[in-house]
């Protein structure tokens, strides 16, 4: 179905986590938000970067000019973080201007009760996992749906075991966990093929900005590894989301502390071991996808023995569960974007 630009509701997306295009998972989430918006007759009018101050004139103008305010929750709203409060304040401002607000793709964990009156004002809520849906239901007093992360939307999982070999290690939001991942990868690489590849882009050294970014990654690597000479031979950065996924497909196991690396592991049919992070996001996706619970380990449990002495390949039941989980998430994503039209009274006649 086609829409004229004049009839398309204007959407302001808050918490654009893809600023700079550095993180492949965030890049995929924002790309899918834009793709689904276009597909369902919504016009992305403006995007507001993550951690923008609530008093930002740009943000307030974006809200005032929009027909709908969409908040991309991702992994922001947990433990009452200061980095999350601006979104709560943004909801208050949007409602003061009588703007409908949708919270989508949201983790929601152990936030202060003083947020509850604001959260109750949300017009549409889609959590990113069942645990978050439960907490949001308690906060709002109404039923809350959940679906998998929007990074899962536009691809069907492919399970191809042939030609896979070795282990791909990632990083974590915690520096100490990153060091453990690097040390484990370094030890394992002495006995079996192993590589380290963070889920972030590597710019070539051309142009001042790109050189600066590359330089920052070098500093980050030094800080995390402490001995670049020891680990440098197994550490690399991918140039694109596509090449990162193609690299994943070459390995028989992904060991990571990053949530979106798990999403990519599901999409590429790559078995994984997840290292617990700063919220329940790892536990949640493993449970919601119907996978074995021992795929999640604590940072202190991470060692070469636990990785090498276990068979981490997907069972037939897990493969079926992953397929159902991703398809269910895709169906709910389409339902969500179709329902956004109801906020401005112009729901299109599209099939889910």
Domain range summary for the chain, segments of one domain joined by +: 5-153+328-343, 167-313
Q: Are 132 and 106 in contact (CB under 8 A)?
A: yes
pLDDT at 219 (0 to 100): 47
pLDDT by residue for the chain (352 residues), tens only, comes to 334 456 799 999 999 998 777 789 999 999 999 999 999 999 999 999 998 998 999 999 999 999 999 999 999 999 999 989 999 999 999 999 999 999 999 999 999 999 999 999 999 999 999 999 999 999 999 999 999 999 999 877 778 888 899 999 999 988 889 889 989 999 999 989 999 998 887 554 344 344 444 444 544 554 554 444 455 678 888 888 999 999 999 999 999 999 999 999 999 999 999 999 999 999 999 999 999 999 999 999 999 999 999 999 999 999 999 999 999 999 999 999 999 988 987 544 444 4
pLDDT at 229 (0 to 100): 44
Residues, the chain:
352
pLDDT at 232 (0 to 100): 64
Architecture of domain 167-313: 3-Layer(aba) Sandwich (3.40)
Q: Are 268 and 158 in contact (CB under 8 A)?
A: yes
pLDDT at 202 (0 to 100): 58
Question: Cα separation of 317 and 279, whole Å?
Answer: 27
For 155, counting Cβ atoms within 10 Å of its Cβ (0-12 exposed, 13-18 middle, 19+ buried), the class is middle
pTM summary value = 0.90
Domain 5-153+328-343, CATH number (from 2.40.50.1070, 3.40.50.2300, 3.30.1330.10, 3.40.1190.20) = 3.40.50.2300
pLDDT at 236 (0 to 100): 85
Query: What residue ranges in 258-297 does DSSP mark as E strands?
Result: 272-275, 296-297
Domains 5-153+328-343 and 167-313 share a fold: yes
Task: DSSP for 191-240, please give it.
Answer: TS-EEE--SBB---S-SHHHHHHHHHHHHHHHHHHS-HHHHGGGB--BSS
């Amino acid at each position: 179905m086609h829409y004229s630009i004049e009839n398309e509701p204007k959407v302001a997306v808050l918490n654009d986590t893809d600023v700079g295009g550095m993180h492949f998972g965030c890049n995929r989430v924002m790309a899918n938000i834009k793709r689904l918006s276009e597909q369902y007759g919504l016009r992305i009018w403006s995007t507001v970067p993550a951690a923008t101050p609530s008093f930002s004139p740009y943000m307030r103008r974006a809200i005032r000019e929009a027909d709908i305010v969409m908040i991309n929750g991702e992994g922001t709203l947990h433990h009452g973080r200061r980095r999350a409060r601006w979104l709560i304040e943004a909801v208050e401002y949007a409602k003061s201007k009588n703007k409908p607000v949708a919270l989508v793709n949201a983790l929601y964990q152990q936030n202060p009760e003083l947020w509850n009156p604001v959260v109750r004002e949300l017009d549409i809520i889609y959590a990113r996992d069942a645990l978050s849906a439960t907490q949001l239901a308690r906060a709002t007093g109404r039923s809350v749906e959940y679906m998998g992360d929007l990074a899962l939307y536009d691809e069907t999982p492919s399970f191809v075991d042939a030609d896979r070999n070795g282990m791909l290690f990632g990083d974590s939001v915690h520096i100490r966990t990153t060091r453990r991942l690097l040390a484990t990868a370094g030890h394992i690489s002495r006995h079996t093929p192993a590589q380290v590849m963070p889920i972030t882009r590597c710019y070539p050294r051309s142009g001042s900005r790109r050189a600066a970014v590359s330089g920052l990654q070098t500093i980050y690597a030094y800080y995390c590894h402490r001995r670049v000479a020891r680990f440098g031979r197994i550490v690399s950065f991918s140039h694109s989301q596509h090449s990162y996924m193609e690299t994943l497909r070459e390995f028989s196991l992904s060991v990571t502390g990053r949530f979106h690396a798990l999403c990519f592991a599901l999409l590429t049919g790559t078995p994984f071991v997840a290292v617990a992070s700063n919220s329940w996001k790892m536990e949640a996706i493993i449970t919601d996808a119907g996978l074995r619970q021992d795929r999640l380990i604590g940072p202190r449990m991470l060692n070469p023995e636990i990785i090498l002495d276990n068979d981490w390949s997907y069972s037939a039941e897990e493969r079926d569960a992953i397929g159902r989980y991703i398809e269910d998430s895709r169906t709910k994503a389409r339902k969500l974007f179709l329902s956004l039209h109801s906020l401005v009274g112009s729901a299109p006649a599209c099939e889910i």
